Structure 1
Amino acid sequence: MKLNKLKIGKTETPGNLLLAPMADVTNLAFRLLCRQHGADLTYTEMISADALLSENRKSLLKGLSSPKDRPFGIQLVGSSPEKLREAALFVEEEYRPELIDVNMGCPVQRITGTGCGSALLNSHTLVYEIISELTDALKTPVTAKIRILESDKKTLEIAHQIEKAGASALTIHGRKAEQMYSGSSDLAAIKVVKSELSIPVIANGDVVDEKSAENTLDFTGCDGLMIGRAAMGNPFIFRRIRHYLETGEKLEVDRTRQLEDFEAYIVLLEEHGLFSSLNLRMHAHWFTKGLPGSRQIREKINTLKDGKAIIDLIRTSCEDKY
């Protein structure tokens, strides 16, 4: 068995499978669905510290949780230690997450252009100031998510600054910021960081199935796995990987699985009042990707206005196609 417990601060989980924070993806309904399939810890989409402090309604919604969504972390993005501290104190009081994460890895230009995300990795001093500012002010454990840099030496320098400043764990994506999502995740670079740090290190990047999960854990020796894009429209990936790491056997997946999960997702969106706050067409694309007749399903969904009608369509599709 390779599925180990993970302890970050005072939070201990039965396994070490984490759902990555993803913009426009990891809303409460999606987190709950991933959790039902075996995710041990989930993170919200990144929330702008500036938007949170200006009481932007959409940003406030991103922090919503529920008793079934525990333990969970809230990820903040920003570049000002003072504003991040203020936003984190608000988050701690308002949402009471088990963890507060700082986004230091997003490579998207609209984020890096404001000095946030992976742009922070250009300044050791600022990275240290941000993490120490939060760890000094908060009762909640602080984590950070970074990308690798152009050399192991530079990546290690940043990682050591984060640990020295008091972070309780570090997630590292094995691509450089300029790669975006092209090329492959550099497991050797992640392994170097894991070998040097005493806090838990979580590997992120290219965990797409059972074998890649096993290989990443075996090769890097990391304490946990964070799964991102492979979970989009496919929360069942957590059940598959969990089962494989526990038993060494692969689950057979029924072809209706995606549509059944999509139906469950619609129910959760409605239950938590999130149905109108996202781009359903985009989510429908992820949940129906690769299925026979998926294009027709998405076209019909675009004309529907409520969850019941969408669920009826999904059920009809299941009966017709499978």
Structure 2
Amino acid sequence: MQGSGDNSSLSNNLLYDFSRVFMKITVQILVGIFLYVNCLMIYTFLRKETFREETRYILFAQTLFTDSALMVLSDTLSIMNNLFYPIHIIPCAILCTVTTNLTICTPLTLVAMCLERYVAICMPLRHADISTSRTRFRGLLIIWSISSIIPLFTLVAYLAVIPSGALLSYTVCSVELMLGKDWQAQARSSMFQVLFLFMIIIIAFTYIKIMIAARGASSENKKLTSRSLRTVALHAFQLFLCIMQFLNPYLEMVVLKIDMLAYAILRYANFIIFIIAPRCLSPLIYGLRDEMFFHALKHHALCDMKPSFIKLAFYACLFLFCV
């Protein structure tokens, strides 16, 4: 009986180790593909002057930059957590603050994209006057300012309660480390709820307005308005996935108390579904669905980069994104 129990325990341990290794490899492959495609798209954006003069492409480029930076930081923190690698408290707090800032910046940029489509469809005669370089600069400044409020509040609140001697210690870095007190977690959660409710209202408003404009549009503009409706709907789905990302830690804590294998699988699944997946939608929406950008992307990827293995990787990434 004891030998049977030992075999069962050994089998469970092997299954746990195999599942963790498989999920780790899967995540790193997906992160590599994501970063490769994003780098190609950033390169395409920088090479073509037309894209640098249009608001929607500038906002798209910002999502590429913030999502790529967020992916690198999140993946680095995930690897360090899996290896239980301790780092100094101060760099950890800075990393967590920057990661939260980038996490909020993406959905705010999505809202700005929806507003840009609303102006283009519902106020076409004023679009050129509204979409100026000064307006774009102010819009980007507002996005980064709002996205900095919650992480800066979290950082200041953390520094206010942590003992001075603890700042010299080392720890396994995670965002939850900065939420030691209940009031910190509750205040942060409340701020996120207000922010995302505000963004949902704006996206719903733009969708309804564009839908109304689509009903009264001429046959020539039907295609453009329908495309804009699908774009706003995809952005709403992205925003939903981003919101779910902040609920994951609470679900993971519950599963952790039940089963370690289920916890490990759930954590990697959440990373793929709620961090990688919403960031993959932006390249799909604006990079592959936009004909002008897609042709420019293909041209620069296949003409400016000569090695055949890069071309093969490019087509493989496009296939995976389309699937």
Return the TM-score normalized by structure 1. 0.25
**Structure with greater strand percent:** 1
Structure with larger RCO (C-alpha < 8 A, sep 6+): 2
Return the TM-score normalized by structure 2. 0.25
**Structure with greater helix percent:** 2
Larger Rg: 2
